[in-house]
Amino acid sequence: MLSLKFLCVFPLLSLPLHAAAVCDPNQLQGPYGFQLSGAASISGQSQPATSIGRIVFDGQGGISGYSSVMFAGFLLGNPVTGTYESRSDCTASWSLQDDSGAYQHFSGEVSAGGKRVQFRQTDPGGPQSGILARTSDQCKSSDLRKRYEFRLYGSFTPMLPGEAPATVDAKGDVQADSQGNFMLTLRDKPLAATEITVEVESDCIVHLQLALPAEGGETPAPITLRGILVDDAKEILAIQTDPGWMAAAHLVAPD
């Protein structure tokens, strides 16, 4: 019987042990850019929504910043303040209050070093797909990378009589030439390209003007994006701000 007990216990002792993730709560500090998208039913009816913004974690549980939200086809912008808690189990939660007095609540998982948080809005009916990534104290146009992989996805809600619902899911590449001018080429339209105008503000907010490349004589529709440079300008998180559009954009510099 003694030998049988030994045989039963030994395999259990040989199983690998998986330690729980541990983070330094103080590493979630400084300026971050965020993008949030998904369906929102906070007002009752479920509708697509997108938002972009810049917030600063002050290291003492306080937040300040501003955000831009596309909801029901309209662009709303507000300064925000709030509080946050960062924990050693690599989770974080925060609340933001806009100048109307309304609160929104969020939670997510923090990556090693506090550089990135995958998060969601925890209010019932809030959007679920959020990215929070560290940005710089200041940015300039020369910080932009020479090439980005591009994706724009979302939907259009008719705002005027005669308009029809629409969707977009465009993937391509943004490449700068020797003069620093950016061109967009879609992967399903490799023979057509359009110019992108990119303006970078000192707080790392980015304004992009573009049109999706078209073939066969089609006239491309102009698109306006508002975004923010994050992760040492390796990424641009953005939303479309044209009336009726609830679309998110993500530009990532390849390794």
Closest CA to 53 of 42, 61, 65, 39: 65
Please, which residues bridge with residue 220 across strands? Answer: none
Residue 111 CA from chain centroid, whole number: 15
Residues 124, 42, single domain; the answer is: yes
Domain that holds residue 167: 141-252
Q: Is 143 left (phi over 0), alpha (psi -120 to 50) or beta?
A: alpha
Return the CATH number at 72.
2.40.128
Last residue of a domain, one of 134, 161, 191: 134
Identify the DSSP state of 251: E
- 77 exposed, middle or buried (CB, 10 Å; 0-12, 13-18, 19+)? middle
Q: What torsion, rounded to 10 degrees, do the Cα atoms 181, 186, 191, 194 define? A: -30
Number of Cβ within a 10 Å radius of residue 140: 13
Is the residue at 226 inside a domain?
yes
Residues 130, 157, single domain; the answer is: no
Identify the DSSP state of 221: P
Is the residue at 204 inside a domain?
yes
Euclidean distance between CA atoms 49 and 108, whole angstroms: 19
Residues 125, 151, single domain; the answer is: no
The pLDDT of residue 20: 63
Residues 159, 123, single domain; the answer is: no
Is the residue at 106 inside a domain?
yes
Residues 42, 113, single domain; the answer is: yes
> Which pair of structure tokens corresponds to residue 77?
């912008």
User: Would you give per-residue pLDDT tens digits along the chain (255 residues)?
Assistant: 444 343 344 444 444 554 567 899 999 999 999 999 998 876 668 889 999 999 999 999 999 999 999 988 899 888 999 999 999 999 999 999 998 888 999 999 999 899 999 999 999 988 999 999 999 999 999 999 999 999 999 999 999 999 999 999 999 999 998 888 999 999 988 888 899 999 999 999 999 999 998 766 667 789 999 999 999 999 999 999 999 999 999 999 998
Is the residue at 17 inside a domain?
no
Residues 127, 170, single domain; the answer is: no
Residues 120, 193, single domain; the answer is: no
Residues 153, 126, single domain; the answer is: no
Residues 244, 157, single domain; the answer is: yes
- Report the number of distinct structural domains present in the chain: 2
Residues 115, 34, single domain; the answer is: yes
The pLDDT of residue 137: 97
The pLDDT of residue 36: 96
Residues 125, 147, single domain; the answer is: no
Is the residue at 16 inside a domain?
no
> Which pair of structure tokens corresponds to residue 201?
């503000």
The pLDDT of residue 141: 95
Is the residue at 99 inside a domain?
yes
Is the residue at 3 inside a domain?
no
Stated pTM of the model: 0.89
Number of Cβ within a 10 Å radius of residue 8: 9
End-to-end CA, the chain: 59
Closest CA to 38 of 158, 111, 122, 96: 122
Number of H helices, E strands in the chain: 1, 16
Residues 128, 229, single domain; the answer is: no
Last residue of a domain, one of 134, 157, 189: 134
Q: In 3-state terms, what secondary structure has residue 111?
A: coil
Whether the CB-CB separation of 186 and 212 falls below 8 Å is answered with yes
The pLDDT of residue 99: 86
What residues contact 70, with CB distance under 8 A and at least 6 apart? 49, 50, 51, 76, 239, 240, 241, 245, 246
Is the residue at 29 inside a domain?
yes
> Which pair of structure tokens corresponds to residue 41?
């039913």
Last residue of a domain, one of 107, 134, 161: 134
